[in-house]
Amino acid sequence: MAAALDAVGRLMRQSVWAEARRLPVPLTPPQLLALKVLVDNAREEPDAAGLSLSELSRRMGLAHSTVSGIVGRLERQGLVARTPRPDDRRFVDIELAASVRDWLEHEMPDRRHEPLVRALRGATDEEWAAIRNGFVTLERLLAAGEAAGEPPPGGEGG
């Protein structure tokens, strides 16, 4: 069950990044990875300023100098900005540009669901009902287990 949910999530995320690769400004895989890390951070911590170059490097698993070059190219394309920290101007945070944040807030949610919408449009009435009933049941079981403080049915791995 967990593997199926992970696979669905992966397919949904792949559709967003496939769209990003079709942007008028072509991005390399490392540039997409940097943006993904920054997007994930912005979604997890919407009020956060951004990430330091060291933290971005750590999360990407790449050398500081490599990430610095990637950030420089993204900055020239207007996708990220280096913002001095107010408490110590010697340090900067790498932030998504306003246009990217706007895209995240207004366009990405709809586009993120497009593969799901397309798939469900092709479902028969019986498939649609089975999917809906399965998710309603899963939500009920998860909520009941959470309220009781119990592990999910079928053990930890499901």
Q: How many domains does the chain have?
A: 1
Q: What are phi and psi of 28, to 5 degrees?
A: -80, 160
> What average pLDDT is seen over the chain?
83
Q: What is the pTM of this model?
A: 0.59
User: Would residue 129 count as lying in a domain?
Assistant: no
- CA–CA separation, 67 and 64 (whole Å): 5
- Is 28 a member of any domain? yes
pLDDT for residue 157 is more than 70? no
Classified as helix, coil or strand, 122 is: coil
Q: What's the angle, vertex CA 117, arms to CA 114 and CA 104, rounded to 5? A: 30
Question: Is 115 within the bounds of a domain?
Answer: no
Q: Which domain holds residue 60?
A: 2-108
- How confident is the model at residue 11, as a pLDDT? 78
